Chain A
Amino acid sequence: MMRRRTFLSVMGSGAVATVLPAETDAASYASQRYLRPPGALDEDDFLARCIRCGQCGEACPNRCIKYFGFENGLQSTDTPYITPREKACILCMKCGDVCPTGAIQKIERKVETILDEVKMGHAVVDESLCLSFQGKTCGVCYRACPLPDVAIRVGMLEQPHVLDACVGCGLCERSCIQLPQAIRVIPNHG
């Protein structure tokens, strides 16, 4: 299955590259770090499943879901994404409710199901940037986290430690007061 998919996408990139050179291969065009909405399928399946109707964005009460133009490759055009530093996901799960195709899976808005099924990414702390690790007590990321002590906990001087349960909503990155941000969500998609 995956081998055929890889083959097809290589074929597709080739076919498309003749039409639109340079902007096609999502994998080789990693200039932008983005998250897919919570509950999104793996990138390949997501691209195949999404019909670009835009309802996920229309359902998002936080207006954090944006849409690609050509900048992430032709296949990603008009698909939803989230830039956590600009506006992060509040895990309301409404996008999955409204998605007609299941490209964004329907996930019940309960802590257990969210912890189980949402895999947007994983937060990583850059200790050389983090204020708490420089002796200036901060802890903002911990306080912004919707799953405190489950996804992130703080130690001495409010130094943050991201736990395995982190689902990657990005609210910590959004709230980090350091410039550039000292905590980032590394996306789970390919």
Chain B
Amino acid sequence: MADQAATPLGIATRKPFGLWRHLNKLRWLTLGAVMAMLILIPYLHLYQTYRAAHAYDLLASSEKQIYDAMEFVTDPFVSNPAEDLDAIKGNTWSGTFWGLKISDPLAVLGQSVAGWLIHWPFAITALIPLIVTLLFGRVFCGWICPATFIYELNSSLAAWLRWAGINPTILPAHWHFDRRLKYLVLAVGLVLSSVSGASLVAGIYPPAIIGRELYYAVALGGFGVGSAIFFGTLLFDLLVARRGFCRYICPGGALYSLIGRYRLLRIRRIVETCNDCEKCTAVCEFELNPMRDNFGQECNNCTACIAICPTDALTFAIRPVDVPEQGPGHLGRNYRNNIPNGGE
């Protein structure tokens, strides 16, 4: 920050709004809240079934614990749990909130190609996610997706392993898949859904898997086949590429990327206050390059780069495309060594 004197005038007006540094914490709260809801909803359902059965004394002691805990949680809010708790059902794949049904755009797309028919009452349930994605891009991936919550913990695990001297990656360094692979996965998934007449994309889409599997595990007594698929994606991320599933394979991420390609809200670099420290590029879970103004349609506005930037050189901008590459940051050595008068 001592270098601030060397920057051009107008620096004060280019400083990002202070709260944006804290959005990353808010994002973690959001992810945690979604995950907590996905765990709570099956327990609430169990509680409803116990209520509907009118037989507290006949419950096993473990069931009584669930009953008591859920009664404690919901008692201030509902008078008739067996009916009132129907207000919140489902998961991030498709959910019901007080009669408002919200579904993932991929659910609508998968179902439409499986049946060769757009079922409008269902299609409009994806309207809110669609508008949000058009405006804000892949925010679902960064802010809501329950798989992201686990994948980011998985990334942390990989980081701890590296810190402990164990490199979990089995691929050679600098070896990369092509990001566009996920669009191929989306296309093939839709084609298979259409020829098989069943929405097969639901089977490999982690947020859909997690929503279902948590319900199976809590209410139906065990995980199903989807958990094995999800575990595979965790291993892929750990052993092959950080957040590799989201970046290279996820069909939902592909769809969100396409819809959010010309999103209005995007992160941009303030070149005048950037010092080329590369922390943003290192922290980016999607391996984008904020320091070279390279966000593209993959960026999910997770704001991790804003939070880590030591010179507050990243902010939001309202514009449908990224800023063209602005060159080295004005506080960095590269820039100051190359300007004609030697950086003042």
- Separation of A74 and B90 alpha carbons in the complex (Å): 23
B211 within 8 A of A: yes
- B197 with A9: CB separation less than 8 A: yes
Contact A5 B52 (CB under 8 A): no
Which of these, A15, A49, A67, contacts B196 with CB under 8 Å?
Answer: A15
- On whether the beta carbons of B197 and A8 are closer than 8 Å, the reply is yes
Q: Would B89 and A59 count as touching, CB distance under 8 A?
A: yes
A8 to B113, CA, bound (A): 12
Contact mask for chain A residues 1-19; partner B; CB cutoff 8 A; 1 contact, 0 none: 0000100110111011000
**B interface majority secondary structure:** helix
Q: Give the docked Cα–Cα distance between A63 and B46 (Å).
A: 8
Q: Which of A97-105, A116-124, A134-142, A145-153 contacts B (4 or more CB under 8 A)?
A: A97-105
Closest to B115 in A: A48
Contact call B96/A55, Cβ cutoff below 8 A: yes
Asked, given contacts A44-B197, A69-B225, whether A57 binds B203 with beta carbons under 8 Å apart, the answer is no
Q: Is the interface of A mostly helix, strand, loop or mixed?
A: helix
Asked whether A58 lies within 8 Å of B42 as measured between CB atoms, the reply is yes
Chain B: interface residue total (CB-CB under 8 A): 48
The answer for the CA separation of A102 and B211 in the assembled complex, in Å, is 20
- Whether, in the assembled complex, B56 has its beta carbon less than 8 Å from a beta carbon of chain A, the answer is no
Residues of A within 8 A of B (CB): 5, 8-9, 11-13, 15-16, 44-45, 47-55, 57-63, 66-67, 69-70, 74-78, 94, 98, 100-102
23 contacts between A and B (CB under 8 A): A8-B197, A12-B195, A12-B196, A12-B197, A15-B196, A45-B115, A47-B197, A49-B115, A51-B103, A52-B199, A52-B208, A53-B107, A54-B215, A55-B89, A55-B94, A57-B220, A59-B89, A62-B49, A63-B46, A63-B220, A78-B202, A98-B90, A102-B122
Report A-chain residues with C-beta under 8 Å of the C-beta of B208: 52-53
B198 near A53 with CB under 8 A, answer no
Residue of B nearest to A65 (CB): B220
| Chain A residue nearest to B220 in the complex (CB) | A66
Residues of A within 8 A of B133 (CB): none
**A55 adjacent to B95 (CB under 8 Å):** yes
Closest residue of chain A to B111 (Cβ to Cβ) is: A51
| A100 touches which of B49, B103, B226 (Cβ 8 Å) | B103
Question: Does chain A have a CB within 8 A of B219?
Answer: yes
Could you tell me which residues of chain B, from 87 to 114, have a CB within 8 Å of some CB in chain A? 89-91, 93-96, 101, 103, 107, 110-111, 114
- Central interface residue in A53, A55, A57, A63, by most chain B CB within 10 Å: A53
Q: Which of B193-217 contact A (CB under 8 A)?
A: 194-200, 202-203, 208, 211-212, 215-216
Known: A100-B101, A102-B119. A11 touches B195 (CB 8 A): yes
For residue A70, which residue of chain B has the nearest CB?
B225
In the complex, the chain B residue whose C-beta lies closest to that of A9 is B197
> Looking at B114, B192, B197, B220, which has the most chain A CB atoms within 10 Å of its CB?
B197
Instruction: Chain A residues near B48: list those with CB within 8 A.
Output: 61
A58 with B82: CB separation less than 8 A: no
Contacts A57-B220, A66-B220, A67-B224 known; A51 to B107 CB distance under 8 Å? yes
Contact B212 A67 (CB under 8 A): yes
Task: Decide: A63 and B198 in contact? CB cutoff 8 A.
Answer: no
Contact B111 A54 (CB under 8 A): no
Residues on A with beta carbons closer than 8 Å to the beta carbon of B52: 61-62
Cβ of B86 within 8 Å of any chain A Cβ, yes or no, is: yes
Query: Smallest CB-CB separation from B114: which chain A residue?
Result: A48
Tell me, yes or no, whether B125 is within 8 Å of chain A by CB. Answer: yes
B255 at interface by CB-CB < 8 Å: no
B41 located at the interface, meaning its Cβ lies under 8 Å from any Cβ of chain A in the complex: yes
Known: A51-B94, A53-B94. A101 touches B200 (CB 8 A): no
Asked if B195 contacts A77 (CB within 8 A), the reply is no
Contact of A58 among B111, B198, B199, B215 (CB under 8 A): B215
- 0/1 string, B38-62, CB within 8 A of A gives 1: 0001100110110010000000000
